Amino acid sequence: MQHVLTYFAIFFTAIIMQAQTDTAPDASAAPSKYQQGMQKAFQLWQEDKSWEAANVFERIATAETDNWLPPYYAAQINVINSFTEKDAAKLKAQLDKAQDFINDATAISKDNPDLLVLQAQLYTAWIVFDGMQYGMTYSAKASDLYNKALEWAPNNPRMILAKAEWDMGGAKFFGQSVEPYCKDIQRAIDLFATFKPAGEFYPTYGMERAKQIQTESCN
C-alpha cells in the first residue's frame, strides 16, 4: 500500500510543480501591477520559495476578485506541500486553506476542468497521508472528478495526462498492467505539441511529465 501512495505523491507533485512557461507579459507594453505580481510569485516558486509565492498569490487574489488564477495557484502550492506533510494538524490547516482557495476560484470560474483536477489532487493528498482512513471515500471522489474534467475538456492534454496517471496509479495498486493507458499518454504528448493556453498565466505544465511517464512506464 505504502509504495503505491508514494507513487501517487510523486506523480501529482511532478505534474503540478512543473514551471509555467508562458507567463511573461507582453514586452511591448509596461506590465500592470497584476502582471508584475504574478511574475514575482512564479519567480519565487521557481526559486523553491513556495510559501512566499503562495502569499503573493493570496494578496493578488484579494485584489483581483474576478480572476480565478491567483486563488488557483495559491491552492496548488498548499496541495503540493501537503504531500510531504506528516503532521496531521498542519496537513489539515494546509488542505483547509487550499479548499477555501479552490472554492473561491470555482465561484469565479465555473465548469473549469483545471479546478476539478486540483480538487482531485487535494483528495489525493488526504489518501497519501492516510490511505486506510481516507482511501475509500476520496478515491471514488477523485475518480469522478477526473472523469468529469476529461468530459468537459476531452482535447486538453493536461486532463488526459492527469486521468491517465490516476488510472496508472490504480492499476499499480491492483497489480495490473499500465499498458492500456500508454495510448492516452501518447495522445497527451501529441496534443501538448500544439496546445495553447487560453490566456496569460494560464496553466501550461504537462509535456515533460508526460514524456517522463512514457519513458519510465510505457517503453
Q: What is the pLDDT of residue 111?
A: 93
Model's pTM, two decimal places? 0.88
In terms of pLDDT, which residue wins out, 57 or 197? 57
The predicted pLDDT at position 26 comes to 53
Nearest alpha carbon to residue 40 among 29, 30, 25: 25
For the segment 191-216, what is each residue's pLDDT rounded down to a tens digit? Answer: 999 998 888 999 988 899 999 999 99
Average pLDDT score over the chain: 88
23 contact partners, CB below 8 Å, separation of at least 6: 38, 39, 42, 200, 201, 204
Does residue 2 carry a pLDDT above 80? Answer: no
Please say if the pLDDT value at position 7 is more than 60. no
**83 pLDDT above the threshold of 50:** yes
More confidently predicted of 199 and 15: 199
pLDDT, tens digit, for every residue of 16-53? Answer: 555 454 444 555 567 899 999 999 999 999 898 999 99
* Angstrom distance (rounded) from CA 80 to CA 17: 8
Place of cell 517503453: 219
Q: What is the pLDDT of residues 147-183, one digit of tens each?
A: 999 999 999 999 999 999 999 988 988 899 999 999 9
2-218 in CATH: which number?
Answer: 1.25.40
The SS3 assignment for 202 reads coil
Least confident of 28-37, 67-76, 93-102, 106-115: 28-37
User: What pLDDT score was predicted for residue 174?
Assistant: 87
Instruction: Locate the domains of the chain by residue range.
Output: 2-218
Task: List strand residue ranges (DSSP E) for 114-212, in order.
Answer: none
A 10 A CB-CB count for 98 gives 26
Q: Quote the CA–CA distance of 131 and 129 in Å, as a whole number.
A: 6
On whether the CB atoms of residues 23 and 38 are closer than 8 A, the answer is: yes
Q: Which three cell numbers stand for residue 72?
A: 488557483
Burial of 94 (0-12, 13-18, 19+ CB in 10 A): buried
